[in-house]
Structure 1
Amino acid sequence: MKILVVDDEEDVQKLILRHFRQEIRNKEFEFCFASDGTEALDVLKAQPDISIIITDINMPKMDGLTLLTQINELRSERQAIVVSAYDDLKNIRTAMNNGAFDFVVKPIDLQDFTITLRKTISYIKAISEVQTRNTELTLANDVLRQANELKSQLLGIAAHDLRNPLQIVLGFSSLIIEATRNCSIKTLGDVEPAMQNFRQMGETIQGAAERMIHLIKELLDNAELESGKLALKKTHRNISEIAAAVIQQSQLQASRKNQRIFLSAEEYCIAHVDWSKMLEVIDNLLSNAIKYSPSDKNIWVDVRRIAEDGLPPRIQLSIRDEGQGLTDGDKEKLFGAFQRLSARPTGDESSIGLGLHIVKQLVELHGGTVRAESLGRNHGSTFIVELPASM
């Protein structure tokens, strides 16, 4: 540890060199000296690795207080110890306010001086260790960020490349289904059972392709969100109308499990949103309610404008189901990416654990919030989205 002693008394140099001769011999301490502040600044510029400055306050040319103000401009992590007369409390206080780490009084008590010096060294080492760890964490975070960006890029590329062949599979399966439906019984004759099998196989292929395309869409959406390149195209829209549109297109999915969807919506629930992205938010939440609820259950969708005293008005959308509910563990990781919760789809639906993660990011991009409420396992759950209302 390199230490600069600034004092205009020659005896101080001899005293320090004699007292710390063992530490100097062991290369634990290395001392250099200056007789005033001006000379000290020259030494500091020539030897930037000096970590501690021990300075007297009253010196010619440049005093210790002036020196302190200029030390911080050279290297902020240096620490200073001031030396002053016992009754010079005003200057000591000024020195501490100017950044001095500690002080010792004259006449110097060598034992107290040694304790103060070692305390300062310990502090510098602790600060250095923290800075080193912060640097290591910063580098590690950079590596993780780059790895995450690469992962998102690879997922995006893979999802994009998979989507086109799946669209072809979906198209041909639709043709198979349509062709078998158009065949008349007279034409079919004895081959009618075989044609029915073909139609069922076509419907199976179509269903599997649709599920895969939905999963790929989630991967592409997540990659776009994580890249930070998603640009919202906002207009003033009625959230009640968006919810009604989603319910209309979800009726077939719900009917397969004999589920009923009820909508309660106020007429004017206007918010400044991207129509397609808000459609995606509501679709994800409603699809989950259908997916994780057993057959013959109800789902309630509620849209209303809320205005409370002292708070800006907001639009609240809630989707409540009679499904499997949420455990405390589920709630902790609910909106994370690629998370699997305790609940499982009750039909043949599939999931990669991205839907709610995408919902949260899209809602927050709109300046809103999303949360979930549940009394626990098998008590259903309610997802609540709140958005700033248009004035």
Structure 2
Amino acid sequence: MVGLAVRLRELGAEVRVCAPPDEEFGKLLAGVGVPMVPVGQPVRPLVSSVKPGSAVGLAQRAADLIAAQLGTVAAAAEGCDAIVATGPLPVTAGARSAAEKLGIRYVHASHQPVVLPSPYQPPPARRGRPLPPGVDDNRVLWEQDARNANDMFGAMLNAHRASVGLPPVDDVRGYAFTDRPWLATDPVLSPWRPTDLGVVQTGAWLRSDERPLPPELTAFLDAGAPPVYVGFGSMPLDALKNVARVAVEAIRARGLRVILSRGWAGIDLADDRDDCLAVDEVNHQRLFARVAAVVHHGSAGTTTTAARAGAPQVVVAQGADQPYWAERVAELGVGVAHDGPMPTVASLSAALGTALDTGTRARATAVAGTVRTDGATVAARLLLDAAG
């Protein structure tokens, strides 16, 4: 989203970004000079405190998200020509309601294809609403998903809409997505097969990151052969209790050094040997160009950045859209999809063996040359053209 904001501004538009008030997001936007409007509660504490898949407290969080769109976001959008929204369904349905109230254009943007209805894939399960067992017709499953979305969010959305004079909607998911959602993924890494839904695939929204690497990290890279990077982004600690020890042992067993990203879980090294270095958030574009491989959880951003850098990948998917990206990495031959979310030294070592093979490196290099870098520009021009 920051990549889109930067390109829109470069093309002459005024831009503001509504985002949760986490310190990381504020620094990111301040670093590119884009105004930020804080909305709702910070995300990081929620990630750390909510059990994956749990529906406890979901109704209240959803109601708060919808209220924020019709309150803070609508106020921020006064005088604007368009709202581009991404995120959970209460956010996007609420954002479209704000755009409707203001009489301005609305665009739904997804940074992964898993949530978009398609006969070629099943829907992801919603919290507290598992998919019905024994059903393998994806169209039937998506119809059930639409009913689940209405049951979970319809009444609260319509109550908030009524409070601002808007009529009720009877299809929350369809209303939020529109019949022409944007898909901000690379067409090679994430090809979209045409469906009845008029998906507009723009390419991934990348931004050029010119930040230098920290001196300590640069010195570590310069001191030996390319290391293996290990990072799990915003994944919570409960899922990653032993991942640092397992990863370091598996990588050391192959005679390689390690760069470990602490991430939101705050994982850290178990010893102070000089073949390992722990880092906080750094410029992945620069770093991934200098590593032997990237071991990660399989987020859209990390997968795309590693692919663009030509770095072989081992994806240890934890949930959400991550199994999809792991599958794509394996299908393209640019890395390995680890079997399961909890690696052992043996399983990770075996995966690294494939990822570090010269053939995998060659395919990763070849695919890197196909990753489009103009996705944010494509999206920005589409938005400006539509807004006149």
Into which bin does the TM-score normalised by the smaller protein fall?
Answer: under 0.3
Task: Give the greater-gyration-radius structure (CA).
Answer: 1
Relative contact order higher in (CA < 8 Å, ≥ 6 apart) = 2
Question: What TM-score, normalized to structure 1?
Answer: 0.21
Higher helix proportion: 1
Q: Could you state the TM-score of these two structures normalised by the residue count of structure 2?
A: 0.22
- As a proportion of its length, which structure holds more strand? 1
